[in-house]
Structure 1
Amino acid sequence: MDLFQEGWIWWAIAIAVGVPIILVILTEVLGALTRRGSPAAKPVRLLRNWVVPVAALFALLVFAFRADVENAWPRVVATVLGFLLILLVLSAFNVALFSNAKEGSWQERIPTIFVELARLVLVVVGLALLFQWVWNADVGGLIAALGVTSIVIGLALQNAVGGVISGLLLLFEQPFKIGDYLDAAGVQGRVIEVNWRACHIDTGSGIQIIPNSTLSGASFTNLSQPVGAVHVGSTVAFTTDDPPHEVIALLIEVADSLPMRADGERASADYLGAGKYSVSLPINGPQFGQQALSLYLAWLWYAARRRGLALDGDATDPIAEPGRLEKALEVVGPTLHLGAAERELVLSTSRLERYGMGEIVQSEGVLPHDIRFIVDGHVRLAVDAGGGRIEFATAEPGDYVGQTALTREKTLTTAIAADVLTVLVVPLETLDELVRTRPLLADEIGQSIELKRKLAAEALAEAGIVRGTLGLY
């Protein structure tokens, strides 16, 4: 009984029983948080592995063994326990404020370096108070000395520090992010890295490093904001003999066929007088600006010559040279089963056209009035599906597209030039005449229609799309 009248025995029993129970509970909580991937697992792990054992040791020394708190060992353990508690509190605050921060909130916008600096300051202040409380240390002189030293260092490095502060403020404001396109300090490109000192921009011809102090002290343009279509402009010239409305229609038609055109946006074109026109291309992002403009001007060259319009004052077309039509018939003649009379008919009524790589030769769902026989190059056949295209076949020289003109049906597929393409355009009236004299040609065209219909349906079926919804039957 005298043993239990001593207060230390109760402390010993409480530590021996309570600490294992607390550790078991914390282990179960930690396991549950880890399985969920919760950021709260970090402070709980610190509490279980370090804080509770050190707190138990401190209680054992001070309350169970009745050690003098003025002795060295209780003070050392108290110092370690105080440091661990500081880390635990800071870790808990970090989880509560920043780990689950929503996108766009002030917590998410604060740069990590700000959080680390604040944590360092709090740890230093906490340790100073801890040493003053446990060891009765005079930290006032140390703080004053550190303050004077900071002032001296700041004056000596004010230019460098100013750049760092400018960078930190720029990171905090976040006027741009990784992947945005900037026009800054005469440099235009995509942001690939932002740190506390500089911004790294990929210009396409190298990496340009711009100090954050330069960005914060000058104006720049974020081409990626606001999110949406970006308009790229260009000026083109035709001759004054070309009808303005025909030219404007051509400019818009070519622009709207660009693969990087922004969904739901239409191009625009204006006549400036004296054969000059301005055109605006709506594209998905500034990263496609130069590519879209280059592709547009290339396609416009081919389209203008197909229409007989003089882009840049020149309407000449190499495929109109004498003898080119006769050479084309050598390629497509076997397909058409041409005799001497039919050959003269095709020569007198047909023409050659050229398409640039990627141009749409024929769209799906239109009623063609002629058939295009491939003379040189290749055509990719695709079927429209949910805003995209599924390619299913390739047509080679001697093959043809637009064969539904013969059956007076709308086209089933989209034909795209796989490379620079030359085709022989045979009008429907000429084709009807050829079919009357060559019934085998009609059978072959009908078989071609059914084959492409089958291939398109199989491609859609593989993509999990119901064929009837796209009008294939």
Structure 2
Amino acid sequence: MAEVFQDGWAWWVIALAIGVPVLLVALTELIGSLTRRGNPIARPLRMLRNWVVPAGALLALLAFAIQSPADQVWVRVVATVFGFLVILLVLSSFNVALFANAEPGSWRDRIPTIFVEIARLALVVVGLALLFSWVWEADVGGLITALGVTSIVIGLALQNAVGGVISGLLLLFEQPFKIGDWLDAAGVKGRVVEVNWRAVHIETGSGIQIVPNSTLSGASFTNMSEPEGPYSATAEVTFATDDPPHEVMALLIDVADAVPMRLPEQHATAAYSGNGKYRVSIPVAGPADASRALSVYLSWLWYGARRRGFALDGDATDPLAEPQRLSEALATIAPTLQLREEDVELLRTSAHLERYGIGEVVLPAGIIPDDVRIVLSGRAVLTLDVDGGRVDFATSEKGEMIGQTALTRERTQAITVAGDILTVVVLPLAAVDELIRSRPRLAREIGESLDLKRQLALDTLAGLGIERSRIVQPGKL
């Protein structure tokens, strides 16, 4: 017995028999605790428990307990496997330490996965070369030299293709843009939908434009989505130099602030550049809304400029301003208002025609109108601004009145919007008051129309389960 312990192998057997199970149990408990907390260190520890410790125990058993010769094949095989597992364990530990808890936006978070994989492959190859050189006494210098020469030859042959890939990897690492950003690059403007090693795919609205990474990396481009914040849709318009600049700028801002795509918390701005030129900026959520916002804005501005009598693009011509058009309009609405010949003559000097584009606000909520409008053509939609959006509840068709609350001196609650291209006859409040005083039947009809719209609003809200208190602008219709 003394000889057994004197040789030392018995101590190795006892140590392995006791130490390995204890170590495995301790690692199991530690891994369970880390897994429950979601700690990434559990992954390399699991590899240590399942592979490295058993392989190391087997190597220790062969080399120290059984005392097999180091040049025996089985010992070398086990040593190679153990060394390879140790290499994988070290690489896994470094990966956890460097990248598992990388802060968003840091260089560790931005580095492409392909870079990590290439570095891991290179380290595995170098580690295996050293391992074979140490365990098997192999001459790996010639192999490394051959691989180096071959790599140079392949690199020269594929330098153009490899250059594009490298450019793509650098773009992925630097991340000057991300999926969903809007770019103006190489004459292409659109939204980034895909980024790979070779090219960037940009959706332009008329198709997918593929821009090589080498083109982007060798030229400047504009990321229209950075910095974060409101994006401005800008337009340059020209009016006649006789139009008062401050009145024109007020019109430009009023129309721009009514555009649905405008950010609620931001307001449009206008600047005068001289010689009748103006620049308007409309804050929108991003480039995706810019083109739609400008389309709506410029169409509404055309109608708004003609209602104000301004010469947009140097042209103030409006067919509605012709006296004959007004005479025809008054003849059309005469039965509705019970007009006599002398009433028509009186209104011809005070009334006028207005036209609104689709979606324009004809009459906002929360005001006391100072005139009354009669629909001549098109359709007006009455809507309530409630929490979460707008609710349509009535329409005003040809021959119907808009802004009856001017007669009762009450604030409007409904918003009147042009549902189609809308043409109205605008009647001064004083003239309509005079008509009502001499025509009790007309006053009764207007009152009934007003009561009907109030009831329609209440019924619509009740049908949708919306309380009246949720209306944004308090008051009566």
- TM range, smaller chain: 0.7 to 0.9
3-state SS in 2 of match to 1:260: coil
What's the Cα RMSD here?
3.7
Distance (Å, rounded) in 1 between the aligned partners of 2:4 and 2:448: 109
Q: Is the 8 A contact 1:244 1:271 kept in 2?
A: no
Kindly state the Cα deviation for residue 222 of structure 1 after the two structures are TM-superposed.
2.3
Q: Is the 8 A contact 1:390 1:459 kept in 2?
A: no
Match of 1:270 in 2: 272
Q: Is the 8 A contact 1:194 1:200 kept in 2?
A: yes
Q: Is the 8 A contact 2:396 2:402 kept in 1?
A: no
Post-superposition Cα deviations, 1:314-334, rounded to whole Å, max 9, x if no partner, equal: 33445567468756886x788
How many pairs does the alignment contain? 463
Q: Which amino acid aligns with 1:173?
A: E
Match of 2:282 in 1: 282
Match of 2:316 in 1: 315
Match of 1:359 in 2: 360
The structure-2 alpha-carbon separation of the partners of 1:271 and 1:32, relative to structure 1 and needing over 3 Å to count, comes to closer
Distance (Å, rounded) in 2 between the aligned partners of 1:271 and 1:40: 63
Match of 1:142 in 2: 143
Match of 1:113 in 2: 114
**TM-score, with length taken from structure 1:** 0.82
Q: Which amino acid aligns with 1:128?
A: A
Q: Is the 8 A contact 2:268 2:280 kept in 1?
A: no
Match of 1:404 in 2: 405
The structure-2 alpha-carbon separation of the partners of 1:28 and 1:174, relative to structure 1 and needing over 3 Å to count, comes to closer
3-state SS in 1 of match to 2:410: coil
Q: Is the 8 A contact 1:252 1:269 kept in 2?
A: no
Q: Is residue 447 of structure 1 aligned with residue 451 of structure 2?
A: yes
Distance (Å, rounded) in 2 between the aligned partners of 1:78 and 1:325: 106
The structure-2 alpha-carbon separation of the partners of 1:324 and 1:426, relative to structure 1 and needing over 3 Å to count, comes to closer
3-state SS in 2 of match to 1:227: coil
Match of 2:133 in 1: 132
Percent identity between matched residues is 53
Distance (Å, rounded) in 1 between the aligned partners of 2:234 and 2:123: 54
3-state SS in 2 of match to 1:406: helix
Kindly state the Cα deviation for residue 446 of structure 1 after the two structures are TM-superposed.
4.4
3-state SS in 2 of match to 1:162: helix
3-state SS in 2 of match to 1:29: helix
Q: Is the 8 A contact 2:330 2:344 kept in 1?
A: no
Match of 2:36 in 1: 32
Q: Is the 8 A contact 2:24 2:49 kept in 1?
A: no
Distance (Å, rounded) in 2 between the aligned partners of 1:391 and 1:51: 68
Q: Is residue 101 of structure 1 aligned with residue 102 of structure 2?
A: yes
Post-superposition Cα deviations, 1:140-194, rounded to whole Å, max 9, x if no partner, equal: 2222222222222223333333333333333333222222222222222222222
Q: Is residue 370 of structure 1 aligned with residue 407 of structure 2?
A: no
Match of 1:13 in 2: 17
Distance (Å, rounded) in 1 between the aligned partners of 2:18 and 2:330: 101
Instruction: Specify which of 440, 463, 474 is matched with residue 471 of structure 1.
Output: 474
Match of 1:178 in 2: 179
Distance (Å, rounded) in 1 between the aligned partners of 2:318 and 2:46: 77
The structure-2 alpha-carbon separation of the partners of 1:28 and 1:168, relative to structure 1 and needing over 3 Å to count, comes to closer
Post-superposition Cα deviations, 1:52-96, rounded to whole Å, max 9, x if no partner, equal: 444444445445555444332333233223323322322232223
Match of 1:249 in 2: 250
Distance (Å, rounded) in 2 between the aligned partners of 1:84 and 1:419: 75
Q: Is the 8 A contact 2:266 2:283 kept in 1?
A: no
3-state SS in 2 of match to 1:281: strand
Distance (Å, rounded) in 1 between the aligned partners of 2:159 and 2:312: 59
The structure-2 alpha-carbon separation of the partners of 1:230 and 1:28, relative to structure 1 and needing over 3 Å to count, comes to closer
**Stretch moving more, 391-400 or 318-327:** 318-327
Match of 2:303 in 1: 302
Kindly state the Cα deviation for residue 299 of structure 1 after the two structures are TM-superposed.
0.9
Kindly state the Cα deviation for residue 268 of structure 1 after the two structures are TM-superposed.
1.0
Post-superposition Cα deviations, 1:391-423, rounded to whole Å, max 9, x if no partner, equal: 343424255543332332332233333343333
Q: Is the 8 A contact 2:239 2:311 kept in 1?
A: yes
User: Please, which runs of 5 or more residues in structure 1 have no aligned partner?
Assistant: none
Match of 2:200 in 1: 199
Distance (Å, rounded) in 2 between the aligned partners of 1:231 and 1:357: 23
Q: Is the 8 A contact 2:184 2:190 kept in 1?
A: yes
Distance (Å, rounded) in 1 between the aligned partners of 2:468 and 2:152: 71
Q: Is the 8 A contact 2:366 2:475 kept in 1?
A: no
The structure-2 alpha-carbon separation of the partners of 1:127 and 1:465, relative to structure 1 and needing over 3 Å to count, comes to farther
Q: Is the 8 A contact 2:20 2:53 kept in 1?
A: no
Distance (Å, rounded) in 1 between the aligned partners of 2:331 and 2:36: 77
Q: Which amino acid aligns with 2:78?
A: V
**Stretch moving more, 291-300 or 433-442:** 433-442
Q: Which amino acid aligns with 1:50?
A: W
Q: Is residue 50 of structure 1 aligned with residue 36 of structure 2?
A: no
Match of 1:423 in 2: 424
**TM-score, with length taken from structure 2:** 0.82
The structure-2 alpha-carbon separation of the partners of 1:102 and 1:373, relative to structure 1 and needing over 3 Å to count, comes to farther
Match of 2:391 in 1: 391
Distance (Å, rounded) in 2 between the aligned partners of 1:133 and 1:472: 90
Distance (Å, rounded) in 2 between the aligned partners of 1:329 and 1:83: 98
Match of 2:162 in 1: 161
Kindly state the Cα deviation for residue 340 of structure 1 after the two structures are TM-superposed.
5.0
Kindly state the Cα deviation for residue 303 of structure 1 after the two structures are TM-superposed.
0.9
Q: Is the 8 A contact 1:435 1:442 kept in 2?
A: no
3-state SS in 2 of match to 1:383: strand
